[in-house]
C-alpha cells in the first residue's frame, strides 16, 4: 500500500542548513478496514507502467504516518497556500488537491485556490495519474512553489479535478511531490528537482532521505546536500540502471548469510519512498515466506507467530558488491495482535525482464538513502 499526515513543518537554521520537519498513525488499509471497507490487494508496481546564483541546501523535517507515509509541508502561490505532500521517489509529478475537485477525497483535504494566487497561470492541459493505490485527473498550471525555503518560480503543478474511489479519502496528505526522473512525468511536466537543478538553486544536485521507524518523528528530507548526523559509516554507491525511476541492480539476495542464487542472473530494484512495503518479485514470495514460516490471514496478509519474530532470519541484498542486511525487526510489523510480514509481491518484471524488487519504506528505514542526479547513482549508508 503506497501512501500518506498533517503537521506544519517548522524551519530551523543550523550550520548553513535549513531544517524543516515528516507523523504516525493507522495505515489507509487499516483505517478503511475499521470502516468496513476492505480494499483488494493492488500490485505496487502498477504505477511504474507508462503512462543563476550559488545554490544552497535545505533539510526538511518530515512527518511519519504509521510507518507508511512520509510527508511534509510546502507552499504554493502568492500569498503562499500550505499543503502537506507525500515526497515520492517513485513518481515525477507535483500535484495537490484543488477547488476544481469535489469528490469525497478532495473534500477531505486542503485545496489549492488558483484564483487566490497572483502568480498563478493556467496551462490548459489535462492529465491522468495512476498510482499503486489511487488515481486522479487534473489540469496543469504554473505557480511559485516553496520547498523547505527553496523557492521555485513558474513551477508546473497539477491541480486535481477528480479523485475517484476511496484510496485518497483517508490519506493524510493533500498531494504528491514526485522526485523521479522527468522521463516518466505525465504531460511532460518538469519535476521540482529538475527546476531546482536548472535554476542552480542547489549546492549539489542531490537529495537524501532519513526515515524514522516505530512511529517516531524526526524524519528528514535534504536537498542539495547530505546530513551526516543521520547515518554512520560510509555511503556506498550503486549506479542507476534506468533513468526513469530510481532503479538499481541487485546482484544477490541472501537469507541468514546464505546466498539463495535467486538474483544470480540479475535482479532490479526501484527505490521508492512512496511505497510503504518491501515488494518482492512474485516468483520469489513463496520461498521468502517459507523461509520465515509465514501463513496468510483472512485479509491475505502474511503473518508469523509474534513470539518467534525476533528469531526470524535476516535478509541481505547485494548492491555493487556490498551487502545490505535487513533484520526481522525491519520487515515484521505488529498490527493489533498479529505480526505481519511487511513484504508484498509484484507480478510485473523490470523493463529489461529481470525480477523486480521495490525498496520501499521497510528497506529505507534501515538505510539513509542519497539520490544523485549529477552522477545518476543511489547511495546507502546505515541509518543513525
Catalytic residue ranges: 88, 272
Nearest CA among 218, 235, 227 for reference residue 24: 218
Residues contacting 350, CB < 8 A, separation 6+: 242, 247, 267, 268, 270, 356
Unique residue bearing C-alpha cell 539476495? 253
Unique residue bearing C-alpha cell 496478509? 301
The rounded radius of gyration (Å) of the Cα atoms in the chain is 20
Nearest CA among 310, 305, 274 for reference residue 171: 274
- How many Cα atoms within 13 Å fall on the side-chain side of residue 370? 25
End-to-end CA distance of the chain: 26
Amino acid at each position: 500500500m503506497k501512501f500518506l499526515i498533517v503537521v506544519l513543518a517548522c524551519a530551523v537554521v543550523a550550520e548553513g542548513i535549513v531544517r524543516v520537519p515528516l507523523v504516525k498513525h493507522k495505515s489507509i488499509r487499516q483505517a478503511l478496514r475499521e470502516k468496513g471497507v476492505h480494499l483488494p490487494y493492488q500490485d505496487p508496481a502498477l504505477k511504474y507502467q507508462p503512462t543563476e546564483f550559488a545554490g544552497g541546501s535545505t533539510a526538511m523535517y518530515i512527518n511519519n504516518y504509521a510507518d507508511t507515509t512520509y510527508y511534509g509541508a510546502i507552499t504554493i502561490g502568492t500569498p503562499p497556500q500550505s499543503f502537506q505532500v507525500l515526497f515520492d521517489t517513485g513518481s515525477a509529478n507535483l500535484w495537490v488537491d484543488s477547488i476544481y475537485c469535489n469528490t469525497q477525497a478532495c473534500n477531505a483535504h486542503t485545496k489549492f485556490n488558483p484564483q487566490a494566487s497572483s502568480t498563478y497561470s493556467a496551462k490548459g492541459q489535462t492529465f491522468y495519474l495512476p498510482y499503486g493505490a489511487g488515481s486522479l485527473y487534473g489540469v496543469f498550471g504554473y505557480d511559485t512553489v516553496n520547498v523547505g525555503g527553496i523557492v521555485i518560480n513558474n513551477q508546473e503543478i497539477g491541480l486535481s479535478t477528480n479523485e475517484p474511489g476511496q484510496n485518497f479519502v483517508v490519506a493524510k496528505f493533500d498531494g504528491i511531490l514526485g522526485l523521479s526522473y522527468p522521463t516518466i512525468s505525465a504531460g511532460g511536466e518538469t519535476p521540482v528537482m529538475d527546476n531546482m537543478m536548472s535554476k542552480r538553486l542547489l549546492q549539489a544536485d542531490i537529495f537524501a532521505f532519513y526515515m524514522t521507524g516505530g512511529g517516531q518523528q524526526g524524519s528528514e528530507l535534504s536537498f542539495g546536500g547530505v546530513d551526516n548526523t543521520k547515518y554512520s559509516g560510509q555511503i556506498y554507491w550503486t549506479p542507476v540502471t534506468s533513468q526513469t525511476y530510481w532503479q538499481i541492480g541487485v546482484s544477490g539476495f541472501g537469507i541468514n548469510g546464505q546466498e539463495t542464487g535467486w538474483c544470480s542472473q540479475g535482479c532490479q530494484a526501484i527505490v521508492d519512498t512512496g511505497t510503504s512495503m518491501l515488494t518482492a518479485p512474485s516468483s520469489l514470495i513463496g520461498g521468502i515466506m517459507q523461509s520465515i514460516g509465514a501463513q496468510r490471514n483472512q485479509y491475505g496478509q502474511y503473518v508469523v507467530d509474534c513470539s518467534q519474530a525476533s528469531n526470524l532470519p535476516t535478509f541481505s541484498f547485494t548492491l555493487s558488491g556490498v551487502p545490505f542486511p535487513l533484520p526481522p525487526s525491519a520487515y515484521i510489523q505488529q498490527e493489533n495482535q498479529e505480526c505481519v510480514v511487511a513484504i508484498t509481491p509484484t507480478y510485473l518484471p523490470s523493463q529489461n525482464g529481470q525480477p523486480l524488487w521495490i525498496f520501499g519504506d521497510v528497506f529505507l528505514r534501515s538505510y539513509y538513502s542519497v539520490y544523485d542526479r549529477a552522477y545518476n547513482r543511489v547511495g546507502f549508508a546505515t541509518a543513525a
